[in-house]
Structure 1
Amino acid sequence: MTSEIDRKEKLELNKLQKRLRRLTGQAIADFNMIEEGDKVMVCLSGGKDSYTMLDILMNLQRSAPISFEIIAVNLDQKQPGFPEHILPEYLSQVGVNYHILEKDTYSIVKEVVPEGKTTCGLCSRLRRGSLYGFAEEIGATKIALGHHRDDILETLFLNMFFGGKLKSMPPKLLSDDGKHVVIRPLAYCKEADIEEYSLLKAFPIIPCNLCGSQENLQRQVVKEMLQSWDKQYPGRVDTMFSAVQNVVPSHLADTELFDFKGLKQSEDAFKRLNIIEL
């Protein structure tokens, strides 16, 4: 019985790996995320998404038609009780070059953000600044983050509901100072697939005690809304992601994206209209 379970799990793992590998490869190709000679800094938090991203990128690296380097980087934010030994042990085991960057952003966040308020915004800004600086230090040409398809859709709705903007997380982004290219290789991958893959691979997950336990966050509310839709109307989330890839500026209302003021009837159409009227 045990061997049968193991066989089924192995088959499921292989199926998931092929799907994630195919979708990641497709995203990399569609957005030209990784090029010949790139040094890719893979940001590893210890969560399911970044573990999966590193695993799939290493898998693709072995058979890619181009040569690129992978360097895994973890930012140790000095959270109390953070198990510092887990990531170095795992990264040494899989044989990837890595760095552990130590920055006490935890103390800054706890000092600045009032008790009970959302810490994610400040935490992410401090984390991003530290990682960007280190990427420059080691000469990384690309910075890979583990955001997936569901993150992109959640961000879209968060910006619509609470920010009044129609924008999300792009699969490829140039930083404001123009120094860093940020890529999201898992942009086409579903969170459910990543979660299952992570369980089957038995990644040594490290929970985020700083913000991961905060309940009723706006993102969590949006996540639950999307999950509810997906259960009630299978395929709806897939269609919504397709919409993000098929934008029609002339059918929205942004005057900076489309010249509505200059929109006029064409001369040919005007002549045809006159002929019909005559």
Structure 2
Amino acid sequence: MSAVWTESENTAATASADAAPQRLKIERETHKLEKRLCREVGRAIVDFNMIEEGDRVMVCMSGGKDSYGMLDILMKLQQRAPIRFELIAVNLDQKQPGFPEHVLPEYLGKTGVPFHIENQDTYSIVTRVIEEGKTTCGLCSRLRRGILYRVADELGATKIALGHHRDDILQTLLLNMFFGAKMKTMPPKLVSDDGRHVVIRPMAYVAEKDLVRWAQHREFPIIPCNLCGSQENLQRVQVGEMLREWEKKFPGRIENMFSALQNVVPSHLLDGTLHDFKGLKPTGVASEQGDKAFDPESFVAPSPAGLNIVAV
């Protein structure tokens, strides 16, 4: 019996020893992920002057991984930021059937962050106005926006923070190009359409895959976004899948696309309101921005292996 006991002890000890390096690896990767998230959110805040001394930031919470991640990271940055600012989390309960209304209040109550739950039955309005089978997102979004602007006024919020990330911004760019014939996306900071609020997207630089991993690590109580049943065939979903497929086949392409949004050359596009094509005259001065009309274009593109190659 003692021999069997000893053998069992040895087996358990071996298994524990084998698991230890794996645990350390997971801890290291999680620590790196947290640092990256804080760094990217902090960089966006600084680059676009999103949060200033004394701001009261209304953090819009939907119950999805993105808004949970945004609040979580902003709370961490609040503790170490060189300026003082307040956070208040806000959720709009739109009375969708099956919405677990207890989840967010219970979670937010544990964080210690002040929060407000706004109850408005927009679901009934949308289902009454929109024909069955049609996408309800447009009207739902407009109603939600108006309510959140009002709540921001009532709470004295100076900034409204939305949880859109880098992939959302790229999806919006492609959607506007494909279906709206516009070169336009979600800006990291803008004045609201009523002219009274400043809307910020602190996660503008954050990759969605990092938020997925962070949500899994933090075990956020995720509320599904398809409760209304209108999300399944959205063009945004299709574009998101296309971007993910590109990233698998051509690592680095998403980063290049996002960098392009910060390196715009109006003189090499076709918008006459941004560049005076009609009044263009030769200057006699050489310029790197000048058109090399007779030279073949060359691009530095990421190869499938992640190495840079020159494509001509």
Partner of 1:257: 274
What's the Cα RMSD here? Answer: 1.6
Compare CA radii of gyration and give the structure with the larger one: 2
Partner of 1:136: 153
1:1-278 mapped onto 2 (5 Å cutoff): 4=20, 6-211=23-228, 214-266=231-283
Q: Is the 8 A contact 1:39 1:139 kept in 2?
A: yes
Identity of aligned residues (%): 69
Aligned-partner residue type, residue 102 of structure 1: N
Aligned-partner residue type, residue 129 of structure 2: V
What's the TM-score, normalizing by structure 1? Answer: 0.93
What is the DSSP-based 3-state SS (H/G/I as helix, E as strand, rest coil) of the residue aligned with 1:99? strand
**CA apart distance, 1:232:** 0.4
- Distance in 2, matches of 1:46 and 1:118, equals 21
- Distance in 1, matches of 2:241 and 2:113, equals 35
Larger RCO (alpha carbons 8 Å, 6+ apart): 1
Q: Deviations over 1:56-105 (max 9, x none)?
A: 00000000000000000000011112111111111111110000001111
What is the DSSP-based 3-state SS (H/G/I as helix, E as strand, rest coil) of the residue aligned with 1:225? helix
Q: Is the 8 A contact 2:136 2:230 kept in 1?
A: no
Aligned-partner residue type, residue 175 of structure 1: S
Aligned-partner residue type, residue 192 of structure 1: K
Q: Deviations over 1:100-153 (max 9, x none)?
A: 001111111111122221121111111111101110111100000000000000
Q: Is the 8 A contact 2:65 2:220 kept in 1?
A: yes
What is the DSSP-based 3-state SS (H/G/I as helix, E as strand, rest coil) of the residue aligned with 1:40? strand
- Distance in 1, matches of 2:108 and 2:98, equals 20
What is the DSSP-based 3-state SS (H/G/I as helix, E as strand, rest coil) of the residue aligned with 1:240? helix
Q: Which structure 1 segments of 5+ residues have no match?
A: 270-278
- Distance in 1, matches of 2:276 and 2:46, equals 32
Aligned-partner residue type, residue 28 of structure 2: L
What is the DSSP-based 3-state SS (H/G/I as helix, E as strand, rest coil) of the residue aligned with 2:149? helix
Q: Is the 8 A contact 2:88 2:113 kept in 1?
A: yes
Deviates more, 1:250-259 or 1:201-210: 201-210
Aligned residue pairs total 269
Q: Deviations over 1:212-262 (max 9, x none)?
A: 763221101111111111000000010000001111111100111111111
Deviates more, 1:213-222 or 1:167-176: 213-222
What's the TM-score, normalizing by structure 2? Answer: 0.83
Deviates more, 1:201-210 or 1:40-49: 201-210
Q: Is the 8 A contact 1:120 1:211 kept in 2?
A: no
Q: Which structure 2 segments of 5+ residues have no match?
A: 1-14, 287-312
Deviates more, 1:22-31 or 1:85-94: 85-94
**CA apart distance, 1:208:** 2.1
Q: Is the 8 A contact 1:42 1:72 kept in 2?
A: yes
- Distance in 2, matches of 1:70 and 1:150, equals 25
What is the DSSP-based 3-state SS (H/G/I as helix, E as strand, rest coil) of the residue aligned with 1:170? coil
- Distance in 2, matches of 1:155 and 1:25, equals 23
The structure carrying a bigger helix percent of its residues is 1
